[in-house]
Every structure is written in C-alpha cells, then in structure tokens.
Structure 1
Amino acid sequence: MGRHSRAMATILLIHGAWHGGWCWDALAEALQARGHRVLCPDLPDAPGTGLMDAAATLPHAPVILGHSMGGMLAEVMAQSRPPRLLIHLCSYLPLPGDSLAALDRLLPAPARHWPRDVQGRLILPPEAAQNLFYHDVPAPNAAAALTRLRPQPPGPLRDPLPSLRRAPVRRHYILCGTDRALPIALQRAMLARAPVEHWHETPWGHSPFLSDPQGLAAVLDRIIGTENPS
C-alpha cells in the first residue's frame, strides 16, 4: 500500500480563532495524498455567533481534529455526534462547564486584551499573530496567513461547554512544545485534569499545519492507522 496507512478516514479539521478553512490547505493535500478524505469548513464569523452556533454548522465525520479554539468545538460535537476518534492539536481541552477563557486562567499569565471592530468582534494585530501563531512558520507562508485572518466573535471564547458528562470517545492530544499561544505548561495542565488515551509531544509551534504540514500529516496518519476509525 506504499505510503498509505491501513486505515483511510474522513477527517474533519476544525480551525482556531481568527482563522478559516484555508489554514488547512497544505495539510489537507498531504492527508489526501495518503488516501484520506478531508473536510475543512469555515467557522461562522458573524458578531453574535456563540459556541453552540458554530458547532451546529459543522458536518459529522468519524475523525475530528480540533486546533486551538477548535478543541472546544470538537468537544461540543463529541457530546452530540460522537466521532470514533477525536484528536486535539495544541488545543483547548475542556471538561463540561469549562470555557476557553476559564482554561486560559489555569496558569498565571498576563491577560490578553484585543481591540474590537465596530461589531464587537476581536481583532488580532498582525504583530501579535506573528509572535503567537507563526514564529516558526516560513516567512512567505506566515505573510500570506496574516493577510487572511478574520475578526473573531467573542462567543466561542466565552461560552462554556455544556454541563453534560464527558463524551466517551477515544482521544489523542498532540502537544506542541514551542507553542506561544498555548504554552506547553498550559497544555500539560489541561491534560492533567482532563486525561486522554494517548498524547504525542512534538517540537512545533502553534501552527504546524503551516510550518510542517508533511510532518503533521505523518503523525495523524500514524494515529489513524493505529485506531482504525473508518
């Protein structure tokens, strides 16, 4: 079967705050080359969008990957439409009742305050995005990404995961050791209180889908091959 894993899967990739489905383009191509089907929808960015509103727009898939804020949405989906496999990529890892904002407070850190547009959505300044998201991304890729960032509705950052029991699905967590947006200490703190079946530590920053899409695709392919979720 060459480079293909023994298990081919349909994978839903859920992007993080300020991003869109475009951020997955290189990773999607690498996963498709390995035989997988990949879904990369845009989350809604209307001002009043909440966590549940955003989750309601997403299609079901047997494998769900959430990146950063996308981990909140992945866990919402796991409660209502459980996948066979849920993968967190340097993402928020909530228990029922947790919000993204509450998870940010697990470790002492200066509060981040972002400007807002006239509709109340959060605007991430380019210099902050470069430092937090793209410090290890090749300069041309980082420059292109900066031009595509969108305003972020505050709802998904503020709303808690519904207070139901934790969905009984198989979970993997990919830690990114040089992440500046979700520092490795915060990733470990979330794993300590919300354990997953398997975790994988890597040297990447916050955006491995831009800094090393082939390497990330290989990690995901190995996970899927082990779990055989198709």
Structure 2
Amino acid sequence: MTYILLIHGAWHDGDCFAALARALAARGHRALCPDLPGAPATGLAECVAALPGAPVVLGHSMGGMVAEALAQARPPRLLIHLCSYLPLPGDSLAALDRLLPSPARSWPRDAESRLILPPKAARAMLYSDLPEDLATAALARLRPQPLGPMRDPLPGPDRASVRRHYILCGQDRAIPPALQRAMIARAPVEHLHETPWGHSPFLSDPEGLAALLDRIIRAEGLHPAHP
C-alpha cells in the first residue's frame, strides 16, 4: 500500500481527516493523520519534528507550510497541496497572506496567546459548503492555534526538490482562489487540479477527494501495491 501523510491546517487536529482516511483505505492506501503539536511555544520546527516521513505528503491550508518544511528535512516522492499555503524559502504564512490586498483578520487569544477562531467565523471560512450537522461536529473539534507556524519563515536557502501537485478549491473562503493562484504563479507546481470545493473537501466530499488523490498517486507511478 501507499502511505500518505495528511497534515492538517490551523485550529484542526488529525481527526478531521477520518472520513478521507477511510475513503483512501478503500482504494488501497494507508493515511497517517497525526496531530500537530499545540503547545504555546510550538513553531514550524516543532511541527516538523513531530511528523514521520512518508512517500506521499499532503498539506492542507497552514499544513502546506509544514509540508514544505518537512520536504526539506525528509523529502517525499510526492508533495500534494490542498488549498494550502505554498511558500518559497523565507516566506511565512503571514507574508503570503499579504500577497493580495484583503481585509485584516484579527482573532481573539487564549490565556497562553494562542489564537481562537470564533465559531461564526469558522463556519463562514472553513465550512461554508458543509451541511449543518457536519459543520457543528467540525466546529466542536477546533482547538487553539499556536502563533509560531504562522509567523515562522520556511527555512532556506533552496526549495525542496520534489514533485508537487496543487488542488485549487474554487469556492474557498479561507484562502481565496485568487491568493492560491498568486502563490502558484511565484512558486510553480508540476500539476494544478482545479475543483469546485470549499476549504474543507475532506469533510464535504471525502470520496471525491480520495478519488482525485488516488488518480494523482497512480499517475505518479505510486500504486497501492508499491509503497
């Protein structure tokens, strides 16, 4: 089987990928869905240190920053970005957010200065295309987000030499499609896949996302029978 490391985004944990992991398993792949560390002092380096290597790595949203940093330390054979931040060395998530003019976002913090995403904002940004029951369950799983992975720049000086696919989500309200395109324009990928999904297709359409990932993996020669 092919091992796929799924790296979640801000405010989430690995359980957000449960439905996608089941759909991938049905297609002969094994998904690894670890939690990124959530301690207040967590930075990009701590996130990378907490993760295993894998032949296929997928980063969602903020997880794209972590995936690129992991690729520098333990390069996968294939790196897939799912509506994620796509940095070059020296870029931080905060810097990438400034590529296009947009209203400033400011979130409350807990007693340890981690960011808290209010449920109303989370529903609108992350889960805009989810039915109410799935959105309610997803909102209940959100957790405080350390600032470090959003502030830390991707180490350099060179970009990891790996094959990259980017899944652009056309209805994304967290990382707008225009920002996704701007990042791709300055940090090219080998293949772009445009989809009509919102920001969280692992919840809104896990079967469709699993089918797309399976096609990508097979097209790259990483069949389930060849880890």
TM-score scaled by structure 1? 0.96
Name the CA distance, whole Å, in 2 between partners of 1:31 and 1:211: 15
Aligned to 1:30: 23
1:132-211 paired onto structure 2 within 5 Å: 132-211=125-204
Name the CA distance, whole Å, in 2 between partners of 1:10 and 1:49: 26
1:1-230 paired onto structure 2 within 5 Å: 8-229=1-222, 230=227
**AA partner of residue 210 (structure 1):** L
**AA partner of residue 142 (structure 1):** A
**AA partner of residue 169 (structure 2):** C
Runs of 5+ consecutive residues of structure 1 not aligned to the other structure: 1-7
Name the CA distance, whole Å, in 2 between partners of 1:163 and 1:120: 28
1:220: how far off? 0.2
SS in 1 for 2:104: coil
Name the CA distance, whole Å, in 2 between partners of 1:166 and 1:100: 16
Name the CA distance, whole Å, in 2 between partners of 1:61 and 1:162: 20
**AA partner of residue 134 (structure 1):** Y
Name the CA distance, whole Å, in 1 between partners of 2:141 and 2:72: 31
1:162: how far off? 0.5
SS in 1 for 2:15: helix
SS in 2 for 1:200: strand
Q: What does the per-residue CA deviation read over 1:141-161, in whole Å, with 9 as the maximum and x for residues that have no partner?
A: 110010110000000000000
**AA partner of residue 207 (structure 1):** S
1:164: how far off? 2.1
Q: % of aligned pairs identical?
A: 74
**AA partner of residue 81 (structure 1):** R
Give every structure 1 segment of 4 or more consecutive aligned residues whose post-TM-superposition deviation is greater than 3 Å.
Answer: none
SS in 2 for 1:147: helix
**AA partner of residue 81 (structure 2):** H
1:41: how far off? 0.2
Q: What does the per-residue CA deviation read over 1:14-68, in whole Å, with 9 as the maximum and x for residues that have no partner?
A: 0000000010000000000001011000011000000111111001100000000
Give the number of aligned pairs: 223
1:139: how far off? 1.3
**AA partner of residue 64 (structure 2):** G
**AA partner of residue 4 (structure 2):** I
1:206: how far off? 0.1
Runs of 5+ consecutive residues of structure 2 not aligned to the other structure: none
